[in-house]
């Protein structure tokens, strides 16, 4: 067996923590402490599209979406309202092993708190991120797909803190669960997903005064988790990995491209039911074009419609990606065409409301993600901190696929077949 650098690893996903937040966040006491005792970068490059479930799956598998198969937060569900759509909630949808799958072989314990795509995963203490839709019961859905006794215990202890998915309540609940789990169970690998910053950017934009308040709340949560490790007596033997999954970009215009397909007969009504030959699934700042199998006529017409739309500035389409370009982005191989929005624009699947919505004219502030990871100013932050890590060590540009092999190296477990590499330069020399 390989020897690990540390016995415990705590991975805190700081959703939407991107380079534009670094200056303020890195001066706050707890993150600053971690930086001084660790390695960091503001140039962590995400995967395409930059959606939470796509990126979090890459974090724990070390491979790109073309291998792990989670290409979006949601499988394609044409004409279903977003609030009623199924998501990729379940581990069975991931086509490759995740790092927590191999821990059992090493008699190590894992814990996951609201980590995406972990329904029914092989995690010792698991509260998966999963949402009741239609007539489902939220508590039952979590019990069925997570660790029932653990979930009940956390609910009894801290459930009163939660108000549905409202913030800051949800992240406060998650943090309390994390602290309790660290002290009581001492998992070798802890995966925690904190969403307050992402929610706030979506609602208020990336440059609102609300952002600073969230950064302060998030720093306190980091401090609480550090304190729990100290109280559990494991802090000296723990590595803390704080990671952002994507940036966000302020949006003024929402564009509903399915209207254009409908105008050209590619989306139509038949016997009171909506049907499609070509359909756009939005991914925020990007979108997929789906086509019915072997419908070459629909493909040619849809491409003509989109190429015409690209020449019209008001639709805000930056690029139509195909073939080799998509392969270079490691996009799910079944996807033949993908659209990228210009900064300030995003896509929407819906066929309700106007084709172009000017959010500013409606007095709405909004930001989103999904854009290409190559967009300027859109990289993520990473801090890896612990006694085995070099102090104040600055990493350059690294890839999201580098995280899983680095985690495996920290814990001393064999986790092969990654697209990324272990960031060996961050470790203190032995002796």
Per the listing, tokens 């291998």 go with 67
pTM over 0.95: yes
The predicted structure's pLDDT at residue 189: 98
Name the average pLDDT for the chain.
97
Residues of the chain falling short of pLDDT 50: 1
Which are the contacts of 173, defined by CB distance < 8 A and separation ≥ 6?
158, 159, 161, 162
Pairing of strands 267-270, 278-283: unpaired
Q: How far apart are CA 302 and CA 61, in angstroms?
A: 35
The predicted structure's pLDDT at residue 431: 62
The predicted structure's pLDDT at residue 160: 93
The neighbour count for residue 143, using CB atoms within 10 Å, is 17
Where do the domains of the chain lie, and which CATH numbers do they carry?
A: 8-247+376-426 (3.40.720.10), 250-368 (3.30.1360)
The predicted structure's pLDDT at residue 138: 87
């Amino acid at each position: 067996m390989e020897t690990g650098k540390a016995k415990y690893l705590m991975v805190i996903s700081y959703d939407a923590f991107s380079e534009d937040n670094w200056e303020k966040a890195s001066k706050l006491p707890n993150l600053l402490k971690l930086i001084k005792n660790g390695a960091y970068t503001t140039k962590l490059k995400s995967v395409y599209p930059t959606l939470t479930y796509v990126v979090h799956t890459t974090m724990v598998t070390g491979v790109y979406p073309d291998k792990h198969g989670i290409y979006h937060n949601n499988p394609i569900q044409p004409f279903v309202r977003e609030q009623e759509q199924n998501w990729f909630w379940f581990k069975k949808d991931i086509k490759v092993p995740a790092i927590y799958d191999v821990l059992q072989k090493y008699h190590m314990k894992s814990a996951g708190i609201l980590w995406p795509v972990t329904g029914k995963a092989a995690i010792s203490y698991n509260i998966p991120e999963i949402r009741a839709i239609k007539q489902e019961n939220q508590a039952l859905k979590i019990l069925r797909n997570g660790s029932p006794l653990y979930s009940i215990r956390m609910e009894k202890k801290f459930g009163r803190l939660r108000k549905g998915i409202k913030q800051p309540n949800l992240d406060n609940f998650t943090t309390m669960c994390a602290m309790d789990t660290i002290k009581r169970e001492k998992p070798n690998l802890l995966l925690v997903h904190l969403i307050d910053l992402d929610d706030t950017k979506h609602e208020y934009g990336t440059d609102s005064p609300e952002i600073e308040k969230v950064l302060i709340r998030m720093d306190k949560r980091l401090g609480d988790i550090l304190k729990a490790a100290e109280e559990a007596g494991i802090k000296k033997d723990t590595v803390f990995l704080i990671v952002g999954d994507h940036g966000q970009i302020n949006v003024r215009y929402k564009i509903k491209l399915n209207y254009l397909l409908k105008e050209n007969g590619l989306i139509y009504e038949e016997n009171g039911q909506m049907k499609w030959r070509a359909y756009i699934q939005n991914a925020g700042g990007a979108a997929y074009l789906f086509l019915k199998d072997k419908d070459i006529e629909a493909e040619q017409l849809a491409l003509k419609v989109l190429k015409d739309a690209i020449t019209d500035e008001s639709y805000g389409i930056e690029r139509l990606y195909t073939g080799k370009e998509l392969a270079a982005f490691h996009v799910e191989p079944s996807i033949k065409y993908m659209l990228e929005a210009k900064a300030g624009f995003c896509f929407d699947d819906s066929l309700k409301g106007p084709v172009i919505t000017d959010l500013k004219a409606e007095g709405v502030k909004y930001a989103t993600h999904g854009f290409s990871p190559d967009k300027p100013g859109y990289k993520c932050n990473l801090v890896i901190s612990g006694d085995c890590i070099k102090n104040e060590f600055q990493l350059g540009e690294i890839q999201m696929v580098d995280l899983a092999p680095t985690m495996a190296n920290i814990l001393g477990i064999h986790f092969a077949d990654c697209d990324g590499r272990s960031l060996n330069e961050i470790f203190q020399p032995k002796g």
